[in-house]
């Protein structure tokens, strides 16, 4: 499988590189379910935040070690330099880490940017690979069933981002960019995860128009 994809480069990676400073200002608060998951971490655990962005979900547990990975280096430059956190540029379908190396992993609003089912499955397989046996992961994806998409017929959409001119290199007018999303229908994430017999779903639900699953590596 190719680790690069032209649609994702054009409509995801390149767009986030451009809008990174503006986007980061809108991502400050840890969602309640994410915080609940973080609260379960055992002291001295090694945590991988896949698609960490500006690191908003990292560093709150001073008794753990975090590694953040993102394809957008410009976005990671907005992260706070927490002492127990480090950052690396990488791709979620080819994680540059050893098998069975992390106690916990988070993938918050990332996998929906992958443009084929096989690539989305590969991303979850990589989460499974890097988790230790008994390790857990939290996965979030945008839901198809939300008000803004009630008239949408396709699950594959380009979502508008209005880049304010103060964040634009041109500094003249607001600019419009489009980010690619695959919108997950109810139970689609669970079905994808069920293809991996070493992962067990221990919780699932919907929060802030995202479907989420907490999974555990059982063998």
Q: What is the band of 165 on the pLDDT scale with cuts at 50, 70, 90?
A: confident
The domain that holds 211 is classified in CATH as 3.40.50.150
* Count of domains forming the chain: 1
Q: Is residue 171 part of a domain?
A: yes
User: How far does CA 45 lie from the centroid of its chain?
Assistant: 20
170 contacts: CB under 8 Å, gap ≥ 6: none
pLDDT in tens, 48-97: 999 999 999 998 999 999 999 999 999 999 998 889 999 999 999 999 99
Q: What is the band of 5 on the pLDDT scale with cuts at 50, 70, 90?
A: confident
Q: What is the band of 123 on the pLDDT scale with cuts at 50, 70, 90?
A: very high
- Structural domain that includes position 211: 6-217
pLDDT at 167 over 90: no
Q: Shortest CA distance to 127 belongs to which of 210, 64, 69, 211?
A: 69
Check residue 81 and give its pLDDT: 87
Q: Is residue 189 part of a domain?
A: yes
Percent above pLDDT 90 for the chain: 89
Average pLDDT value for residue range 99-110 = 98
Q: Is residue 104 part of a domain?
A: yes
pLDDT at 2 over 60: no
In whole angstroms, give the CA distance from residue 4 to residue 121. 15
In whole angstroms, give the CA distance from residue 12 to residue 144. 18
In whole angstroms, give the CA distance from residue 77 to residue 18. 13
pLDDT at 120 over 60: yes
CB 219 within 8 A of CB 198: yes
CB 104 within 8 A of CB 47: yes
CA 139-140-144 angle, 5° bins:
140
Q: Is residue 47 part of a domain?
A: yes
pLDDT in tens, 171-203: 667 899 999 999 999 999 999 999 999 999 999
pLDDT at 163 over 70: yes
Average pLDDT value for residue range 107-114 = 98
pLDDT at 16 over 90: yes
Q: Which helix (H) or strand (E) holds 199?
A: strand 199-207
pLDDT in tens, 17-57: 999 999 999 999 999 999 999 999 999 999 999 999 999 99
Q: Is residue 1 part of a domain?
A: no
Q: Is residue 112 part of a domain?
A: yes
Check residue 1 and give its pLDDT: 54
């Amino acid at each position: 499988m190719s680790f690069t994809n032209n649609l994702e480069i054009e409509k995801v990676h390149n767009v986030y590189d451009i809008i990174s400073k503006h986007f980061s200002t809108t991502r400050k608060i840890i969602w309640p379910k994410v915080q609940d998951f973080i609260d379960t971490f055992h002291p001295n655990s090694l945590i991988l935040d896949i698609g960490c962005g500006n690191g908003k979900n990292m560093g709150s547990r001073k008794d753990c070690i975090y590694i953040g990975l993102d394809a957008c280096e410009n976005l990671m430059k907005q992260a706070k330099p927490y002492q127990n956190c480090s950052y690396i540029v990488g791709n979620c379908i080819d994680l540059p880490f050893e098998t069975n190396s992390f106690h916990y992993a988070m993938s918050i609003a990332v996998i929906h940017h992958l443009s084929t089912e096989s690539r989305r499955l590969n991303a979850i397989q990589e989460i499974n690979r890097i988790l230790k046996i008994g390790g857990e992961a939290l996965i979030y994806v945008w839901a198809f069933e939300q008000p803004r998409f009630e008239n949408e017929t396709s699950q594959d959409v380009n979502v508008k981002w209005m880049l304010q001119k103060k964040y634009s290199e041109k500094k003249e007018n607001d600019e419009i960019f489009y980010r690619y999303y695959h919108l997950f229908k109810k139970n689609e994430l669970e079905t994808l995860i069920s293809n991996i017999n070493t992962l067990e779903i221990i919780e699932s639900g919907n929060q802030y128009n995202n479907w989420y699953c907490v999974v555990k590596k059982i063998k």
